[in-house]
Amino acid sequence: MTGDSINDRYGSTDPLGAWQLLSRGAKGLLVARMVNRLGGFSMAFLAVLLTEELHESVQTAGFIVAVFGLATIPSRLAGGWLLDAIGPRPTILLGLIGCAITQLGLAAAHSGTIAVIAAVGLGLSYELIEPPTQAMIAAESNDDNGPALFGLLFVSMTIAAVGAGGVAAIVAGWDLRMLFVIDAVSCLMCAVVIRAYLPDREARHTTKTAARPWRDRRFLGVFGMSTVFTLVYMVVIFGMPLTVTDRRLGLWVIGVNTALSAVVAVLAQPLLRVDVLNRGGGHVAIAVGFVGLALSISCIAVAHSAVLILLSGVVGAAADVLLMSHFYAQVSRLAPEGAAGRYLAMFGISWGIATSVAPLIIGAALTFGDGVPLWLGTAVVALALAAVAPPMSRRVNAPRHTSALAVVGD
């Protein structure tokens, strides 16, 4: 990659200007992920499926979703290892086919036991695709365009979520199980695109390094802050559908909210190229993102109408663009040459931890006070992260010294 800024080459107002900086293989991968995301709305309804269709308690549903989240941790690590061992295309295909099979298992489940087995299988497959995808973006990015390119990775999936929201709004009111069938079909369609267009060896690591992320103190700082963020994020993902259901706002609100959030995420991409937000490694952007996340969650706390849920989605989508893009760009900058896949795979464990813990928090707290204490408490955590983010990000992006490099090495 060259050092040209996206603003210089494609203008600061083009929401998808970063697309032109990607290679043919990366573009093909993003298109395939969009196909997959088009049907990928089912996980937000997993807890609802368990409580409404299988008649499990909220606590039991939280346990089953937590089992799924726990299984995603070895899945993410396996994705990084398989990327080095067999290359990106076989790794991605293995994950997609595994997801399709287990999604069909969830759709057919008529007992909690079968649901647990399918949830474990889904978790073990779910994250295999992420390290190869993120390593490809990292290989094509630099310090100037990293946030915008990672933002494009996320927005490519949120664009498809416009269609996913429409599907969910229709199907959820008809048959929740069909959401999981549609998701399985989208995984198989994505696999077909990957098999046809992604070169087998592209983005495979050819440079070996002894770098170990867990011995990099800067990485651990970003990992810790991101783990708390992802915990907050997953509380919203899993908890909001239950809150909407409990307050009788209609499941259609969730689908419309997803579609609206996707549009906002596309329109918010130019924020990743605003100098005042992105200077100094993006610590201002991260702080602003956490404040926006707190406002979004506060709307859920007091929402007894669809309008406030939709407002929450708008504000939260803009915050997610800033937070996700900058966190992944920071990790990409920290990784030594040839180690981006390992760093990103390790970093992704934060999602597995959050996906395991968030349902347990929801199961224990959502039934109290109409869920208001849970949502207000989560908003306070987001505000605390906004205060911690600037000093932490400045430390992460400060010039490395020889002693710091020694920590990353052997």
Q: Encode pLDDT of 18-72 as tens digits.
A: 677 777 777 777 777 777 766 566 776 788 888 888 888 888 888 888 888 788 8
Higher per-residue pLDDT: 330 or 323: 323
Give the mean model confidence (pLDDT) for residues 334-347: 78
Q: What is the CATH number of domain 24-202+210-408?
A: 1.20.1250.20
Which tokens belong to 384?
């605390």
Residue 211, judged by CB atoms within 10 A of its CB (0-12, 13-18, 19+), counts as buried
- pLDDT tens digits for 289-301? 999 999 999 999 9
Report pLDDT for 404. Answer: 39
Per-domain residue ranges of the chain: 24-202+210-408
Report pLDDT for 40. Answer: 61
Backbone dihedral angles phi then psi of residue 116, each to the nearest 5 degrees? -65, -45
Higher per-residue pLDDT: 128 or 42: 128
Residue 54, judged by CB atoms within 10 A of its CB (0-12, 13-18, 19+), counts as middle
Q: What is the chain's percent helix, strand, coil content, to nearest 5?
A: 80, 0, 20
Report pLDDT for 402. Answer: 39
**Is the pLDDT score of 218 beyond 50?**
yes
280: three-class secondary structure by DSSP: helix
Give the mean model confidence (pLDDT) for residues 76-103: 87
Lowest average pLDDT, out of 102-106, 129-133, 201-205, 271-275, goes to: 201-205
**Residue 15 confidence class, pLDDT cut points 50, 70, 90:** low
Report pLDDT for 299. Answer: 93
